[in-house]
Amino acid sequence: MSGRALVLFALFCSLLAGCYEESIPERNLDGELVIAGDLVNDPRDAGMIYIGIYEGFDPEQLGYPYPTTGPRVGDNPIGDALPYGGSSVGAYTYACYRALRCKVVSGRYSSLEELLETNPVEEDEELATAEQMYDQCSWYYGWNSLPEFSFIGSDQLDFARDSAGDWVADFRAWHTRIPTGAILWGFADNDFTSCSPDQGTVNRRRSEDDQYFREGSNFNDVLNFPDKYITEGDFLTESVVTIDAEQTSGYSMRLDYRMD
């Protein structure tokens, strides 16, 4: 190949690179989650909250607000809801004691005292104090000061109360498909049915009884089969929000239905 041909080939390749645009269908979707003030007086009383992006809404199939589903397969009592993507408000966190596995959600507590008020735990047959919990967490995680505690702090609270008396938290669904006509739907698992103490990170410190254990985490099919985890007292979305593919922010999704 002549020198001129090489130059033309290089120029052609550079033009191709300059004109190519990678088309990625997944985008981030931002919005706010609102819990109606008449459902809960304190967001600490709301459990783990899941938010899904679904094809449609079918409140008739189960007798309560629920996304449309695909065909029933195998032993599942209902079809897969087939989410395009989703997110959560808060995450299950290991609060330093095995007795608190699957009972503590991040973003709800400003102090250890607040956490223990809602989730009392015994140590040496007496209720643990905030000082004892601090020592336990420092030993387990190696934290040396309260700002290091990942599940408490006034600057880590997810919810704030608005002028209407509702509780509002921001959320982001990362790298999701957001087709026009899809809906936002979610639920609050108030009794932590969606958490398994046998999942999650293996304990970071050897326990006193020399046993390994898991810290606890949510099941991986919650958004696909939310009906498996919805129980009496949970909050659901009844007034769904329809998505516009050209809009990736500014959505407001409510939890406004209490499961009987």
pLDDT digits (tens, 9 = 90+) for 170-182: 999 999 999 999 9
Residue 141 in domain? no
On whether the CB atoms of residues 176 and 29 are closer than 8 A, the answer is yes
The stretch 47-60 carries a mean pLDDT of 96
Residue 164 in domain? yes
| Secondary structure in 3-state letters for the chain | CCHHHHHHHHHHHHHHHHHCCCCCCCEEEEEEEEECCCCCCCHHHCCEEEEEEECCECCCCCCCCCECCCCCCCCCCCCCCCCCEEEEECCECCCCCHHHCCCCECCCECCHHHHHHHCCCEECCEECCHHHHHHHHHHHHCCCCHHHCCCECHHHCCCEECCCCCEEEEEEEEEECCCCCCEEEEEEECCCCCEECCCCCECCCCCCCCCCCECCEECCCCCCCHHHCCCCCCEECCCCEECCCCCCCCEEEEECEECC
| Lowest pLDDT segment from 73-87, 120-134, 181-195, 238-252 | 73-87
**Which carries the bigger pLDDT value, residue 152 or residue 8?**
152
Q: How confident is the model at residue 1 (pLDDT cuts 50, 70, 90)?
A: low
**Which carries the bigger pLDDT value, residue 8 or residue 49?**
49
**Which carries the bigger pLDDT value, residue 1 or residue 219?**
219
Residue 41 in domain? yes
Residue 123 in domain? no
Provide the number of structural domains found in the chain.
Answer: 1
Residue 124 in domain? no
Looking at residue 15, its pLDDT comes to 44
Q: Which domain holds residue 54?
A: 25-110+156-258
Q: What percent of the chain stands above pLDDT 90?
A: 80
Average pLDDT, the chain: 90
On whether the CB atoms of residues 92 and 216 are closer than 8 A, the answer is yes
Q: Which residues of 111-120 are buried (b: 16+ CB within 10 A; e: fewer)?
A: ebebbbeeee
The stretch 246-255 carries a mean pLDDT of 96
**Amino acid code (one letter) for 170:** D
